[in-house]
Structure 1
């Protein structure tokens, strides 16, 4: 990412990248979320077959509106915050060390958790869980949101804020640091002073997604369970959720849903950074 993005460019490019990435990768998010609710033997492939048989292709997009809209806002906030913090933390030559990139990514993750991720993912999680019941109560994004707020208040869409902040902070810190470090390495060794082609940007973003998945998967499982429809009756708080999951289901349960999330974040990393870099380039050209 360039050192010269203007705030509005970071926001617009990030929002565009987030919306595109959300739509492209949503089926993997759906399978990941459903597998985290299911029993020990309910595998992503079984869920995919069942969903396709009972609801068709559109079944994989249950709750998609919440995530796609939230993803656009999330990515806009994420890139705006990250680019702002990165500029503040850069040295006199405009370079950002790995620890400072980590700090900027952490700040970006916390900001997006509060302003976008928690509400959109809480609603998305509830819509997905509700959709698998014999008699779904929610009829789309707007109706579902109204019912959640009516029954639980505004806290109903901010349930799981703490695990979301932990996950998003870790996600952004790991993803941005990995991406920035790899990009600087590739540029300095192959194309000094030149813009990297989309194929290389996509590959670097994919690697960043791969690293992010395995580093943050336990936080994602806790986040999903804390945002479920029955979370209030099951868990007192995030630490109680961690305790129950570990003692009742074992440590490997924290990596449930890794495969669909791995596919999603590898593709997502490639799509997000590629679209972001392309949109920023276009905005600079027409500015």
Structure 2
């Protein structure tokens, strides 16, 4: 149904407006150099960003996800809803399958969008990018997400825009599958409710959506850390530190131990609950409004 795509748009808008500041902190913590750390933790990153760049600094790079996430959520919820209706059973397993397919399908949009978002978020107001004269990214100051994307394409080609694509697909397939199956399980097992936007209260929608996001991020977070490091590689110097995924993992593990796979997790979980609470509630309320409208039309 086309309504699934429209509902996803509303959910994406709600989620990005609520969660982008947390995402900026998460990305900065994930990508910072352990040998010369700029931030001591989540709270310090929040306060430092606001002090140096104002509160708007937390919304850096929002142009890309504001457009992209709205479109991505339309793809996710639209694809998910249409696939689920074609599966024989409506249970957690079917919801995982439908969610995984939807997540894989939208990765082609998510990958370049997140690369641009990452580069914008890691660019501070005092960053002149003059660390390597003559290097590819030297002295580049990105004016907008679109300027950043143009630079990436011009410098690295189409392949460069899809850096980290394999990790994006892996994260989205697992994450979206977990996302929708968890929502179903929480509604049935914890709230003792069937998933029906006409009957779930707003408080239950918020709780189920928020917990769904937390569970999904806990499952996929190590993949996201590696994706961020691969996508951010060479941003300031123009010199690539990692030759690939395996090299990124081994070098990160050697320098930081397995702890590197949880860097920025606090911020991600703080972000996950309100973002997904807002996303799912916006989607469900949209269905409720449409459902009420259709019932009124039938009466006449």
Q: Which moved more, 1:73-82 or 1:47-56?
A: 47-56
CA distance in structure 2 between the partners assigned to 1:199 and 1:192 by the alignment: 14
The reply to whether residue 82 of structure 1 matches residue 76 of structure 2 is: no
CA shift, 1:220, in A, is 0.7
Contact kept? 1:162, 1:238, Cα under 8 Å: no
Shift of 1:192: 9.3
Q: Normalised by the size of structure 2, how large is the TM-score?
A: 0.85
What is the CA distance between 1:105 and its match in structure 2? 1.3
**Would the aligned equivalents of 2:53 and 2:124 in 1 still touch at CA under 8 Å?**
no
Unaligned runs of 5+ in 2: 129-139, 295-300
Cα RMSD (Å):
2.0
Instruction: Give 3-state SS (helix, strand or coil) of 1:195's partner.
Output: coil
- Matched with 2:116 is 123
How far does the alpha carbon of each residue in 1:198-252 deviate from its partner, in whole angstroms, 9 at most, with x for none? 1101101111112112211101101111111417712222222222222221111
User: Does residue 180 of structure 1 match 2:178?
Assistant: no
Alignment match of 1:268 (pick from 265, 275, 281): 275
- Which of 125, 128, 134 matches 2:127? 134
Question: The residue matched to 1:88 in structure 2 has which SS?
Answer: coil
Counterparts of 2:158 and 2:194, CA distance in 1: 50
Aligned-pair CA distance for 1:97: 2.5
Corresponding residue for residue 3 of structure 1: none
Counterpart mapping for 1:140-219 below 5 A: 140-185=144-189, 189=192, 195-219=199-223
Matched residues in 2 for 1:190 and 1:99: separation?
18
Q: CA deviation digits over 1:118-155, x for unaligned, max 9?
A: 12101101111233652261011222222221111222
SS in 1 for 2:86: helix
Distance 1:109 1:180 in 2: 17
Q: Which residue pairs with 1:246 in the alignment?
A: 253
Q: Distance in 2 between matches of 1:13 and 1:23?
A: 16
Count of residue correspondences? 275
Aligned counterpart for 1:259 among listed residues 266, 278, 281:
266
The equivalent of 2:26 in structure 1 is 32
The structure with the greater share of residues assigned to helix is 1
Give TM-score, length-normalised by structure 1. 0.89
Residue 103 (1) aligns with residue 97 (2): yes
Query: Does structure 2 retain, via aligned residues, the 8 Å contact 1:78–1:109?
Result: yes
Gaps of 5+ in 1: 1-6
